[in-house]
Chain A
């Protein structure tokens, strides 16, 4: 018997992973949550049939979303993470002793429950004492704050389903307001490759550009995401991602990473021409 998990990356492209068994399948009020055990990628978490993470490549995503803003502002004390029910982003942030508070806002409590049970590799992030988890809509949470956070990380799902509100202008504007004067927002920015993903990516970029004075995009290679070519947004009130990178100080921290390093930090902001062209439409 052969068991395969398949995700449609486009109407005409399928991505399949051979699965040993299904470990969990449950329905929350927001979405369907599944965990599979696979031969190639280890455990896989999917929401409504879309891969959120695999044990084998989650380090790329989580390191790139957490260390980029931190290496630019090593003084960050208070960090807000929106989405991130798997705990991977928090695990990376917890490596900074300078941070004294990490607030996590996840809409779906069930995702956290499932990850704690089946994915301790990422969910271990929640064990840190500095972490507080709030189960509510990210848009609702953030609009109440003003001048509160040093860094906001938007670790969202895709711009349809429960994560839709996290790709809107009102959300980015509210994040701007919730950030301090030297605050940085980093977000999951979709992919430039397939048409629908690229449209979502451009829309998100347009809205961020309208909301922040500094807005740059960086990339990483994530094998299990559509096309493997993935983008993140770096939006900020004061700091520039390359000029304000504190390479020496960061390296002195001796933080253990598998993907991120300070050379790659600068390199990740160098984008292919076709991506630059898409972004320029809105700058």
Chain B
């Protein structure tokens, strides 16, 4: 990924709760993630990782608490920037070509020169030659490349990755890890939910474990770091 024009941005979760009826998906979660940090969330299925990321993307509404985006000095931003979101689901249309998908979302986001931006991103994710192929003809790895390109259309300072490597073959996972490394090195803030250790998890600069919607471990260094990332459903 090329170095893009964005302002480094952090996120602060202030005592957030998310309830579905009587069930707590997140319970009093407070975290401050400075600009440029690469955070890996680990935990069992249902521990609240996806909910936390969807709240950061403003796709899910909070039951209580607040989420604020911060500038480099930690001050709250008046206008929150858009976050790039990549999930296990590709969030692109199978019946459109790779280029049509990027043009659609670029136009919706009001991006200047959408065709040029789409072409540049297709080149960066290595799909320029398949730009006119329908996404439904793509492999899982290629679809995930389109998903990454879609998420980066507006050059977001914050990138949210929700189990993005699920279903990828080793080659696809390696490409993905390389892309995350480039995103991290470009100064973007990255929040990713992962299942167990992988090439992507080694890029994290901070590891947080969630259990039953609460933060139970949060570390940047030490032996605990690896044990959090190695955490699986077992």
Q: Do A and B come from one complex?
A: no
Interface residues of A (CB under 8 A from B): none
